[in-house]
Amino acid sequence: MIAIHFEERKDCVNLFEQLAMYMNEFAVYGFGGKVQKNGEEMILLNYENEDVDFYESFHPFVASVLADYVMHTKEDEWLQDIVGSLFHVTDEEEKKQIVEIAHSILAGERNDIPSMKPHLDRKSFLYEAFANHLDPETSFYYEPFLAFRLQDYGEILIDCVELALDEYLMEQDFQNMIESYRQYIRKTPAGMPLLHIVHEEMFTFYDQHHRKLTPEEILFYLKQELVFEEDAALDEMVISPLVSMAPGHVYVYSDDPDHGVVLSIQAIFQERLTISPLRDGKRPT
């Protein structure tokens, strides 16, 4: 019999209900497991199927349910604690945004952060922690187990928060840059009446006569104090030279209006921007 002791009544009740629900679903398949509460602070699990080995059936089931329960009930709380206690973020709105980024990293939604990819399946860490501790006669205390047996999982969360904080700070810097460019455009007289930008694999600049601008011309307009793509080659820069030119209106031709650069141009130029499909872009002959 497996006995799980709890300090928090809520965890005992919620986990019991989850285990009972799954066992009831699997009962029709001859699962052979029983779960009961012993008071308000203990769950008892018993496996009675003599036809299937404990380690082939009940063991992975219990480990999986425990891993899921921890991930869905503790992860957000631990992330918030890490943000506040280890990284000393006290502003509640900042903390909320950093935790949201951390969740998106853990969910695999940030493909631009390759260093987290080996750790995205954190459920496997939780599963292994419980699986290595369970046998047919296990008795353990839930809260101490979380504190002392889930250190690998905790390290994943700390690494994730560190990356999330870096992402948050970069996003803040980016938003500040966008706002400073927006203010510059509002206050600066137009350097040219309009500019066409054709987006294929690269972004190509054309003047009001649909003539392609040369690198020398782009460099002529470029103001060093407006450059934020400091490590980029001139032909890879888009935002800095565009803002330096301060055109009265910008026409962007792209089949990917959600591209990050296109969205940045839109945020800066707002009503002074027109986005059209690539086929509408006029090319020089």
pLDDT of residue 17: 94
- In whole angstroms, how far apart are CA 90 and each of 79, 81, 95, 115, 178? 14, 11, 7, 27, 26
CB 178 within 8 A of CB 234: no
Positions in the chain whose pLDDT score sits under 50: 284-285
**Segment 129-133 long-range contacts (CB within 8 Å, at least 24 positions apart):** 129/67, 129/153, 130/62, 130/63, 130/66, 130/67, 131/59, 131/60, 131/63
How many other C-beta atoms are found inside a 10 Å radius of the C-beta of residue 277? 10
- What tokens does 163 get? 């990356």
Look at residue 283 in the predicted model and tell me its pLDDT: 52
Report d(CA 105, CA 116) in Å as an integer.
Answer: 7
Using CB atoms within 10 A of its CB, is residue 187 exposed (0-12), middle (13-18) or buried (19+)?
exposed
Confidence at residue 284, expressed as pLDDT on a 0 to 100 scale: 42
Q: Which helix (H) or strand (E) holds 145?
A: helix 142-149
Mean pLDDT of the chain: 90
pLDDT, position 222: 92
Residues in the chain: 285
Q: Is the pTM of this model over 0.85?
A: no
Cα separation, 205 vs 253, in Å, equals 11
Q: Does residue 253 contact residue 280 with C-beta atoms inside 8 Å? A: yes
pLDDT of amino acid 118: 55
Among candidate residues 250, 245, 284, 253, the one with its CA nearest the CA of residue 266 = 250
Edge to edge, what strands does the sheet with 192-199 contain?
203-206, 192-199, 247-253, 273-276
Give how far the C-alpha of residue 11 lies from the chain's centroid of Cα atoms, to the nearest Å. Answer: 27
Three-state DSSP class for residue 244: helix
What is the per-residue pLDDT for 248? 95
